[in-house]
Amino acid sequence: MNKKLERASAGGSVSKAVSMSSFPYLKWASVMIAVLLFLPVLVIVSNLFSGTEVWVHLVNTVLADYVSNSLILMLSVAMGVLLLGVPAAWLTSVCDFPGRKVLTWALLLPLSMPAYIIAYTYTGLFDFAGPIQTFIRDITGLGYGEYWFFEMRSIGGAVAMLSLVLYPYVYLMSRAAFLEQSANTLEVSRTLGHSNIKSFFKLALPLARPAIIAGLTLAMMEVLADYGTVQYFSVTTFTTGIMRTFYGFGDLAGASQLAGVLLLFVCVLVLTERYSRRKIQYHSSGLSKTSQRKIPLSGWKGVAATLVCAVPVLLGFILPASVLLYWAVFEAEPITWDFIQLAWNSFSLALYAAIIAVFLALVLSYAMRLHKSKSVSYAVTSAGMGYALPGTIIAIGVIIPLAWLDHKIITFVKHTFDVKIGLLLSGTLVALLFAYTVRFMAVSLGAVQSGLGKVKPSMDMAGRSLGLKPMAVLRRIHFPLLKSSILTAILIVFVDVLKELPATLILRPFNFNTLAVRAFELASDERLVDAAPASLMIVLVGLLPVILLNRSISNNH
């Protein structure tokens, strides 16, 4: 079969009679999938301007706090990730100093550490009852209130935790931009009398600005999406407000209106990022980036460069991971069958969600490959918009239509068959799987489309010329070539689902827990040590895509 394909693909043009676009069912399937995945956003938007008593109460009392705290968090974390990510990216890509090779990939490690888990860890270390303050009281003899110590459970603590785990977004984008810059660019700058520092601020940094802004936007979206950290540190933001409205008032309409305002924040953030780059075009001279000579740093400069790159790794991964490991091994309760059940719930749910998301991504990507129409292009684009939305928005957007449909089904079955049934959609794992698919479709789409893009179109035509139908072409030709991309997409979605907290808290069925939810519940009960095994398991699994990402970067550079 492969030899036939090679001969057919090399045989020149293929007749229009075997055109792949003659199969419209895939086109309409992609549109229907996109509409279904975009439904939660439509639900939120439709409820945005419907006034309720709860909404009026929220506007008059706490909405200003939600807006101000969210803005303070975003701006402060923006400064934090820029200060941590950009210098590290510049040093590892342009300079040579002790430990550079190790730190280049180690700077990615905090990506595996969810913000709410690092928040629990540092609180256990630095809170009043933690070992640090206990040691200070023991050696000084001071009591409570007699000495100053920074308050972890504050907006400042939330900024620090979020900055430590989100700076890799800026680091990745910035480093890629610095590596892509022409090798002779900085040489020309230095011949004009500019120092390395001046060349960085005057030339390299402006050239890398689009990439830095893109990484910063991703970090800001994660700030808006965070729930576990701000809830644990008692910082009132939109995500905590949505959860309080949903659980405290039991008001779906009010929660959806808050989610709508948060959605506006996200839209403004995305549009601002695109507007800031609308007229920015920088071109390289084309000289190979591999020929660029590293700037040697030795002595105190080398030590300073090592510290600048090592501190984020130490504080963002090594220290919290070590504390979690110590707690899990020496202080936490022994692992029981309940923990194994939690792990099974988490892993099976994440695997189901990953398979569904990747399967739908394969359908959408293949439809886009077959049909070059605007409707399919728009469908694929809208299907991937969920990744820009916080889990709380998607959860509220999912539960409203599913609850409505559930009650219609219950009423119909009651009147028709006189049988009482429970919630088939909103009260089961269906709602969770739907929300996960909406949330992480963009991740699977990116991996699958990247893999499909590497398959020559002539292979499709060759398969059709041999009498294969489109789905047979996908199954017998594309799928074997896409195994690596599909496995990558499954792995990334699997880990993202495993770490997802707010959507799981809202949509999980009764008596169904995951590792993330259990860690959150134990931490909320101040049982930080007992939360360590679940937290450590999430971090260890989260290392897998980081390792995969590091290999990809190493192959490209």
Is pLDDT of 280 > 70? no
Whether residue 30 contacts residue 379, with contact meaning beta carbons closer than 8 Å, is answered with yes
For the structural domain made of 21-50+333-508, what CATH number should be given?
1.10.3720.10
Select, from the ranges 174-183, 314-323, 403-412, the one with the highest average predicted confidence (pLDDT): 314-323
Whether residue 174 contacts residue 211, with contact meaning beta carbons closer than 8 Å, is answered with yes
Is pLDDT of 251 > 90? no
Overall average pLDDT of the 401-419 stretch = 89
Overall average pLDDT of the 31-57 stretch = 82
Q: How confident is the model at residue 12 (pLDDT cuts 50, 70, 90)?
A: very low
What does DSSP assign to residue 386? G
Using CA atoms, how far apart are residues 116 and 350, in angstroms rounded to an integer?
19
In this predicted structure, what is the pLDDT of residue 277?
A: 62
Is pLDDT of 279 > 60? no
The lowest-confidence range among 112-121, 125-134, 374-383, 534-543 is: 374-383
According to DSSP, the residues that pair with 96 across neighbouring strands are 296
Other CB atoms closer than 10 Å to residue 68's CB: what's the count? 12
Overall average pLDDT of the 83-107 stretch = 91
- pTM of the shown model: 0.85
In this predicted structure, what is the pLDDT of residue 285?
A: 46
The lowest-confidence range among 42-56, 138-152, 329-343, 535-549 is: 42-56
Is pLDDT of 516 > 90? yes
Q: How confident is the model at residue 450 (pLDDT cuts 50, 70, 90)?
A: confident
According to DSSP, the residues that pair with 283 across neighbouring strands are none
> What percent of the chain has pLDDT above 70?
85
The answer for 250, left when phi > 0, alpha when psi is -120 to 50, beta otherwise, is left
Overall average pLDDT of the 343-367 stretch = 92
Using CA atoms, how far apart are residues 175 and 341, in angstroms rounded to an integer?
41
DSSP 231-251: HHTT---HHHHHHHIIIII--
Overall average pLDDT of the 460-468 stretch = 71
What does DSSP assign to residue 478? I
Q: Mention every residue, 6+ apart, whose C-beta is less than 8 A from residue 117.
A: 228, 320, 324, 519, 535, 538, 539
In this predicted structure, what is the pLDDT of residue 76?
A: 95
